[in-house]
Chain A
């Protein structure tokens, strides 16, 4: 999707917004992973700070509740030495009737350099980057069912650090694909990075319409779905899915799609198990697997900070270059609404 590339990249091809891996080429995704790799060590140092975002203002805008994503973004920004403002949306002006548009334009007027946005509507980050504040770097921290690119990329980082490559891997994504913003971005990223065997496993009620058009195979049967795979990615099952008739019961779901030690034996012996968290023990995964030797769940959390540091530093750098380039041209970017 060239328009997605145009929106996310500067004219010279540097990242300036990170909305979704869709539209970005393999080289860019590998650069993100390489940069993240270099930040993994920062977390292990005694002084866990680098000065890359010193003097820059990062605003965390979480219109939806989040604990771990929000805290890892906050930590990532702080480790990059940015000034961080986390806006409590519940007490902000939006609850007094101010539109999203006006809230963002006011924050932009305060000379913010980056917005980290989580919003319940698909396309919210895209809307902000394309129409509201194109001169502020936008990092999508999850929009509706659409995308959660930093989660997907930290999953790619976890896979690469364990398997070294993507080409010959078989990856199964299991569970509530329908409501998952992570699964879509995982598919885009895996495909771009060279993985050709991506299997989605779940009942039809949790499978999006025409999902096979994304170049994946679908499996209703868990055993055949994870047979011989290198990576099993389990998705969180929201308990409210039982109330809204997507599933009959947690018990039946676990019996059919829960990841147990016995079932994991269907995958390759060195298969890794991942989960974006928070996990529901006994609903989508049994504790023996979640805490077992093949589980990468806690590693993912650590890599999450490094990955977020990587995209924040890259997007900030790209956005600064773009601003500089535009300042040097007669018609500078105003950030006004485009028609």
Chain B
């Protein structure tokens, strides 16, 4: 198969590439980059005004399926991921049943492979059934292809168990993923601030995050485990990560796209579509998260995609399920940040592709001759409306439903093959 993409703006921050030119894919690999006038291919795409980048790698997502097909299936959610430019996904282990056994991982892998839209880089449970009492079979799960271990949103409150998790992971050089939120202080429904106070909703203070980050950093430093923090939310959290990196602790961190775009005030009127965990915080936190992306404190942007059926969000706010279906909105949200000059395309692409790939795959994906073609082509000015006929995720919890949006993925190529075309 041979594809030429002509006239796109090629952005690959890992190669300091930002240039309008042509790219040729042949035999699943990047054959040529540059002026390809006169060169022919089976598929010839005019991509003037579009952005071509290495494909995206999602460090945190929920694909549902198994016992949650009412929320989404692996086929629907991986297709939605491909339509957002992702080729590689790291699903959270809080599946039902829990991703704490090789058999569950294998079942998910088979379903993802059968759907064919994305490749799986599973994160398995750190403890059995995420209960925080018994270690999971980490070494066996690692052999089964798991790239890291996480206790998802379930805090391990017993320090002895947590220390043993880290010691065991250190024994085999395994990476630990952390969603940093203290369980007791995190027992609320939104950011503790003026909006929560006025609306009478239980607040989650910033210290719920910073306390947990500090605690995990101590264990990471003590055991030498390579750690990755998922979904930072606060300015104080970013400051702790910055300080830890300066001290040479072996960590990386990401932020969910929703936390870069929305704040707690979006919940005004008890809008359950904005009920997420960890919570959306204040504007000063959002600005600090953006600054963290800019200065490299935060390495990556993840989707934190969590599709739900409509009934899950149709109840009094506190009784609604947490999470947003992100995939259909991801590229328009990035475009919004670029338009507001909060981010550049280059920074966003670095955080979604090369940096995420380095964390999950141990190597960067790039636009370089000879590399396997894993690419995302975005039309940043494409107008469209997000609704039930245009969305691919089965999740109805789309915060921007029925809104006019701008920007859409035109084409995603995984391993040289088209995994999504608009």
Interfacial residues, chain A to chain B (CB-CB below 8 A): 1, 3-4, 7, 22, 99-101, 119, 121-124, 126-127, 130-131, 143-147, 181, 184, 208-211, 213-214, 337, 339
C-alpha gap A100/B318 in the complex (Å): 13
20 A-B residue pairs with CB within 8 Å = A1-B268, A7-B269, A121-B316, A121-B319, A122-B199, A122-B200, A122-B318, A123-B200, A123-B201, A126-B269, A126-B270, A145-B200, A146-B200, A184-B200, A208-B196, A208-B197, A209-B194, A209-B203, A210-B193, A213-B198
Given A1-B268, A130-B269, check contact A146 B199 (CB 8 Å): yes
Interface string of B307-339 (1 = CB under 8 A from A): 000110011111100000000000000000000
B358 within 8 Å of A (CB atoms): no
Tell me, in angstroms, the Cα distance from A100 to B320 when the chains sit together.
12
B193 touches A123 (CB 8 A): no
Asked whether B317 lies within 8 Å of A127 as measured between CB atoms, the reply is yes
Closest residue of chain B to A101 (Cβ to Cβ) is: B314
Contact A127 B315 (CB under 8 A): yes
Chain A residue nearest to B272 in the complex (CB):
A127
Give the CA-CA distance A123 to B270 in the complex, in Å. Answer: 6
List chain A residues, Cβ under 8 A from B319. 100, 121
With contacts A181-B200, A184-B200 taken as known, whether A121 is within 8 angstroms of B317 at the C-beta atoms is yes
Count of CB-CB pairs between chains A and B under 8 Å? 87
- Contact assessment for B314 and A131 in the assembled complex, using a CB-CB cutoff below 8 Å: yes
With CB as the reference atom, state the residue of chain A lying closest to B205. Answer: A209
How far, in angstroms, from A209 to B319 measured CA to CA in the complex? 22
Q: Which residue of A lies closest to B196 (CB)?
A: A209
Of A4, A123, A211, which one neighbours B316 at CB under 8 angstroms? A123
Most buried by A among B197, B201, B203, B401: B197
B interface, over-half SS: loop
Across-interface contacts of B192 in A (CB, < 8 A): 209-210
C-alpha spacing A131/B316, complex, angstroms: 10
Most A Cβ at <10 Å: residue of B192, B200, B268: B200
B402 and A339 contacting across the interface, CB-CB below 8 Å: yes
The answer for the CA separation of A73 and B199 in the assembled complex, in Å, is 24
Q: Is the CB of A209 within 8 A of B193?
A: yes
Closest 5 CB pairs of A and B: A146-B200, A121-B316, A123-B270, A145-B200, A213-B194
Interface size on B, residues (CB 8 A): 26
Cβ contact within 8 Å between B200 and A143 = yes
Using Cβ atoms and an 8 Å threshold, which residues of chain B touch A124? Answer: 316
Residues of B within 8 A of A208 (CB): 196-197, 203
Report B234 CB to chain A, min CB distance, Å. 14
A71 to B194, CA, bound (A): 34
User: What chain A residues lie within 8 Å of B401 (beta carbons)?
Assistant: 339
- B185 CB, nearest partner CB in chain A, Å: 12
Cross-chain contact A122 with B201 (CB below 8 angstroms): yes
For chain B residues 190-218, which have a beta carbon within 8 Å of chain A? Answer: 192-194, 196-203, 205
Quick check: A3 and B193 within 8 Å, CB to CB? no
Query: Which of A7, A99, A122, A181 gathers the greatest number of chain B CB atoms within 10 Å?
Result: A122
Given the complex, which residues of A lie within 8 Å of B202, measured CB to CB? Answer: 145
Cα-based distance from A130 to B198 in the complex (angstroms) = 18
Within 8 Å CB of B269, what residues of A?
Answer: 3-4, 7, 126, 130
B401 and chain A: residue at smallest CB distance:
A339
Report the minimum CB–CB distance from A264 to chain B (whole Å): 28
- For residue B282, which residue of chain A has the nearest CB? A210
Distance in angstroms between the alpha carbons of A264 and B31 in the assembled complex: 86
Are A213 and B200 in contact (CB-based, < 8 A)? no
Residues in A with CB closer than 8 Å to B310 are 337
User: What distance in Å separates the Cβ of A207 from its nearest Cβ neighbour in chain B?
Assistant: 10
Which residue on A lies nearest to B267, using beta carbons?
A123
Which residues of B have CB within 8 Å of A4? Answer: 269
Q: What B residues does A1 contact at CB under 8 A?
A: 268
> Chain A residue with minimal CB distance to B310?
A337
| Chain B residue at minimum C-beta to C-beta distance from A130 | B269
| CB < 8 Å neighbour of B200 from A7, A131, A144, A337 | A144
Q: A124 CA to B396 CA in the complex, in Å?
A: 21
* CB closest chain-A residue, reference B270: A123
In the complex the two chains form, is A210's CB within 8 Å of B317's CB? no
Q: Tell me, in angstroms, the Cα distance from A7 to B199 when the chains sit together.
A: 15
CB contacts (< 8 Å) of B311 on chain A: these are: 99, 101
A211 to B315, Cβ gap below 8 A?
no
User: In the complex, how many angstroms separate the beta carbon of A334 from the nearest chain B beta carbon?
Assistant: 16
Q: Measured between alpha carbons, how far is A151 from B212 in the docked complex, in Å?
A: 40
Do the beta carbons of B197 and A210 come within 8 Å of each other? yes
Instruction: Contact check, A337 vs B196: say whether CB atoms are below 8 A apart.
Output: no
Within 8 A of A (CB), among B248-295: 268-270
Q: Are A123 and B314 in contact (CB under 8 A)?
A: no
Instruction: Give Cα A208 to B314, complex, Å.
Output: 27
Do A3 and B268 have beta carbons less than 8 Å apart?
yes
Interface string of B179-197 (1 = CB under 8 A from A): 0000000000000111011
Q: How far is the CA of A22 from the CA of B194 in the complex (A)?
A: 14
The listed residue with most A CB atoms (<10 A of its CB), out of B202, B269, B316, B318, is B316
Complex Cα–Cα for A1 and B267 (A): 13
20 additional contacts, CB 8 Å, given A101-B315, A213-B198, A339-B402?
A3-B269, A121-B318, A122-B200, A122-B201, A123-B200, A126-B270, A127-B270, A130-B270, A131-B314, A143-B316, A208-B196, A209-B192, A209-B193, A209-B194, A209-B197, A209-B203, A210-B192, A211-B197, A213-B194, A214-B197
Q: Which of B198, B311, B315, B318 has the most CB of A within 10 A?
A: B198
